[in-house]
Amino acid sequence: MNIKYLLLALWVAILVACQTDNSETMIQKIKGINPPIAEKQDSLIEAHGNIRKDPFFWMRLTDEQKTAEHPDEQTRKTLAYLNAENDYTQKVLAHTEELQQQLYDEIVGRIKQSDESVPYFKNGYWYYTKYEEGKEYPIYCRKAKTLDNPEEIMLDANILAADHDYYNVAALHVSADNKMLAFAEDTVSRRIYTYRFKNLETGAYLNDVLTNASPGGAWANDNSTFFYTTKNKVSLLSEKIWRHALGNKQASDQMVYHEKDPAYYIGVYKSKSNDYIIIYNNSTIVSDYHILKADNPQGDFQQFTPREKKHEYSIQHYQDKWYIVTNWEATNFRLMETSLNATHKKNWKEVIAHRPNVLLSGIDVFTNHLVISERANALTKVRIRDQRTGEEHYLDFGEDAYVAYTSTNPEFNTHTLRYIYSSLTTPMSTIEYNMDDRTQVIKKQQEVVGGHNPEDYITKRLWASARDGVKIPVSIVYHKSTKPSTQTPLLQYAYGSYGSSTDPWFSSTRLSLLDRGFIFAIAHVRGGQEMGRQWYEDGKMFKKINTFNDFVDVSKYLIAEEYTSPEHLYAQGGSAGGLLMGAVVNMAPELYNGVIAAVPFVDVVSTMMDETIPLTTNEFDEWGNPKNKDSYDYMLSYSPYDQVKAQAYPNMLITTGLFDSQVQYWEPAKWIAKLRDHKTDDNILLMYTNMDAGHGGASGRFKRHKETALQYAFFMDLENISGRSLKD
């Protein structure tokens, strides 16, 4: 037999082996299992002369109601409904439990159990993070002067997490004398942190406890003054900066800044030079900074330049100057500089001019080099300028679709740049690059336990035409044995909001889909910044519909090019990407066989009208303020919850977390209830609520993948694929 046809026959046999022997569809398997039906209690919501009926508004609980020892009737009813949905999901997917366990074991099995990060040097110590076999959480370590010296464990999150269902430690800050550690911990998943302090010489924890905090803080150079941020207890917005003296109670702390405009996120950090404490204030379209010499912690913060109605910028201190990355008269940003005592905008001088096709994302400053991070043509780029000669060059990455960005570079006086590189086929790599002789060394590449050969996978960059003629970049990856066709399952993913770009990362988790014949595609829709700042501007506010249209048009392109078909096309997005999922299933449900919407922002109008909800007031410039009729009408036209209609919807799995502070659980809970009330099909509609977690799901590096396995099993079961992979 011709070898070509022998290989084809072998590939067909493998595909057949990947299918289950039972040809029943999921719908047939769950016959007789009835979904929960939510009670209706019409609430009337009036605005601009328009009255909306919300039959499921009653599901909304306060934090106090969720955690009350003796729950009231509304709480009991709401929690009973969420648990009923969980029970229904468990019953519907009961036949996939073996597959879920297999996927979980497979995903976790690729994670190197005992692992550690590449150490970086700062202020006399080498810092790194390690994981030990079987443990969920990181251990934070350091070694003095050289890596040959004994290891010092600063913090073991496994010990701290022992008594908590959820645990996250963030924002570790070591004092300038290397003796004190400040760290923030969240034990609820509500993103409300508590700062604690540890004496690194004695190992003792101090009595100082700072509650209701945001992660991120800064030590003054006296080693006893710590600046931190607290939240509004209702909206959870960061709003006040405090000065804390070690040994004092929080009640005696001094407030040094109060942001009264709820459109802003605020925080405090220390400059790379360690010379300044910096307060930042950022809304969607405005930046504002206040600075204080770190040697003068009792002094007053000074505003860097007056706040404007529309001006975004960032600052970096180096020796006798400040560098400023700014969009002042520069849509894609430009680089400026100014002297230490002349920080007003009128004194800034241009270093790198604005370029219409290149987004200047940020800079890293070194004694002899300036590293410029850019985005162009949907790719990240790293440009290096020798400040002694003015000579410039770009790093060459050699792939069509990849992501590269500068990593931890705390020292000025070095010729070595540390950066991260990855692609859809290349595991995450930490690389050190000599900016003088242009040589580089891979210090660490993410290990995929069991082996991974990038050459077993094919990655491409495609360009789909949107309905308005704009070309949308699409990054795809699939196993080399997978033949794109109308019978090939394809998972399309996107986010498309806040200017957050969805880069083509490697994912060892994703291999479980690729190795079972799935194609994975990232639609780089408008609303991110993949193609520059205008790409973001064209996917927000009154142009938000472009985000949804782009996703749908990419789907149509992939179908037309026969990468898949509507019977085998799947979609997934989370948070604002969950809003995207909600919009597209209302607009074009016929294109998708299955959709997963994770922690989806779907009740857009009601949420944005309620200024007590976290993230509302500081996102008016992202979505619009529905108190203005034009914004109200536009947002209402796409709000997934409001636009649910009597039509057939795809098979859907919706996930949420009871303690989510970013997208409140009641949005997806109301949405699924309304979908179930209106949809005209017999397709599967499921919701899973993590009753112990928030926006990011479960904590821990292994436990979180229980939900990943659930989601993958949902897609694979719709394809009637068993647990066997192409490698079996």
CATH number at residue 676: 3.40.50.1820
Cα-based angle 353, 356, 361 (whole degrees, multiple of 5): 70
- The closest of 667, 662, 676, 620 to 641, measured between CA atoms, is 667
The DSSP call for residue 449 is: T
Per the structure, the count of domains in the chain is 1
Q: Across the chain, which distance is largest between two alpha carbons, in Å?
A: 85
CA dihedral over 270, 116, 697, 503, signed as positive or negative: positive
For residue 433, the model assigns a pLDDT of 98
Whether residue 543 is contained in a domain is answered as yes
For residue 238, the model assigns a pLDDT of 93
Q: Is the pLDDT of residue 118 over 80?
A: yes
What proportion of the chain, given as a percentage, has pLDDT over 90? Answer: 85
- The closest of 568, 575, 720, 548 to 23, measured between CA atoms, is 720
- Give the pLDDT band (50/70/90) at residue 25: low
For residues 357-395, one letter each, b for 16 or more C-beta atoms within 10 angstroms of the residue's C-beta and e for the rest, the string is ebbbbebbbbeebbbbbbbeebbbbbbbbeeeeeeeeeb
- The closest of 402, 411, 354 to 382, measured between CA atoms, is 402
Contacts of 80 (CB under 8 A, 6+ apart): none
CA dihedral over 721, 726, 727, 728, signed as positive or negative: positive
For residue 27, the model assigns a pLDDT of 61
Whether residue 503 is contained in a domain is answered as yes
Question: How confident is the model over 186-192, as a mean pLDDT?
Answer: 84
| Matching residue, tokens 């493998």 | 14
Distance CA 69, CA 81 (A): 19
Residue 528 domain boundaries: 3-108+459-718
Distance CA 498, CA 496 (A): 7
Mean pLDDT score of the chain, rounded to an integer? 92
Whether residue 705 is contained in a domain is answered as yes
For residue 132, the model assigns a pLDDT of 94
SS3 158: helix
**Two structure tokens written together for 332:** 């894609």
Q: Is the pLDDT of residue 3 over 70?
A: no
Whether residue 176 is contained in a domain is answered as no
Whether residue 18 is contained in a domain is answered as yes
For residue 19, the model assigns a pLDDT of 40
- The closest of 284, 228, 291, 243 to 261, measured between CA atoms, is 284
For residue 611, the model assigns a pLDDT of 86
Quick one: CA torsion of 678, 684, 685, 688, rounded to 10 degrees? Answer: 170
DSSP string of 95-125?
Answer: GGHHHHHHHHHHHHHTS-SSEEPPPEEETTE
Top-ranked range on mean pLDDT: pick from 396-400, 636-640, 688-692, 703-707? 636-640
SS3 276: strand
Whether residue 288 is contained in a domain is answered as no
Q: Please give the C-alpha separations between residue 36 and each of 31, 33, 82, 625, 644, in angstroms, as whole numbers.
A: 15, 10, 9, 35, 18
Question: Where in 466-558 does DSSP place strands (E)?
Answer: 471-479, 490-493, 519-523
pLDDT in tens, 258-272: 999 999 999 999 999
| Matching residue, tokens 């004194």 | 347
Q: Is the pLDDT of residue 289 over 70?
A: yes
Count CB atoms within 10 A of the CB of residue 536.
Answer: 24
For residue 22, the model assigns a pLDDT of 44
- Give the pLDDT band (50/70/90) at residue 728: low
Distance CA 708, CA 655 (A): 11
The neighbouring-strand residues paired with 321 are 318, 339
Q: Secondary structure of the chain: what % helix, strand, coil (to 5)?
A: 25, 35, 45
pLDDT in tens, 213-252: 999 999 999 999 999 999 998 888 899 999 999 999 999 9
Quick one: CA torsion of 102, 82, 594, 95, rounded to 10 degrees? Answer: 40
For residue 692, the model assigns a pLDDT of 76
Distance CA 155, CA 132 (A): 13
Question: How confident is the model over 470-486, as a mean pLDDT?
Answer: 98
Alpha carbon distance, N-terminus to C-terminus of the chain: 24
Question: How confident is the model over 55-59, as a mean pLDDT?
Answer: 95
Cα-based angle 684, 689, 695 (whole degrees, multiple of 5): 120
pLDDT in tens, 599-652: 999 999 999 999 888 778 888 999 999 999 999 999 999 999 999 999 999 999
pLDDT in tens, 586-606: 999 999 999 999 999 999 999
For residue 5, the model assigns a pLDDT of 32
Element spanning 671, H or E: helix 666-678
Distance CA 103, CA 714 (A): 11
Q: Is the pLDDT of residue 556 over 70?
A: yes
Q: Is the pLDDT of residue 662 over 80?
A: no
For residue 296, the model assigns a pLDDT of 98
Q: Please give the C-alpha separations between residue 356 and each of 331, 333, 502, 586, 611, in angstroms, as whole numbers.
A: 8, 9, 21, 35, 36
Active site residues: 575, 660, 695
Whether residue 562 is contained in a domain is answered as yes
- The closest of 115, 120, 146, 145 to 132, measured between CA atoms, is 115
Whether residue 338 is contained in a domain is answered as no
For residue 16, the model assigns a pLDDT of 34
Question: How confident is the model over 437-458, as a mean pLDDT?
Answer: 96
pLDDT in tens, 159-179: 999 988 889 998 899 999 999
For residue 76, the model assigns a pLDDT of 94
- Give the pLDDT band (50/70/90) at residue 42: confident
Question: How confident is the model over 192-220, as a mean pLDDT?
Answer: 96
Distance CA 583, CA 575 (A): 13
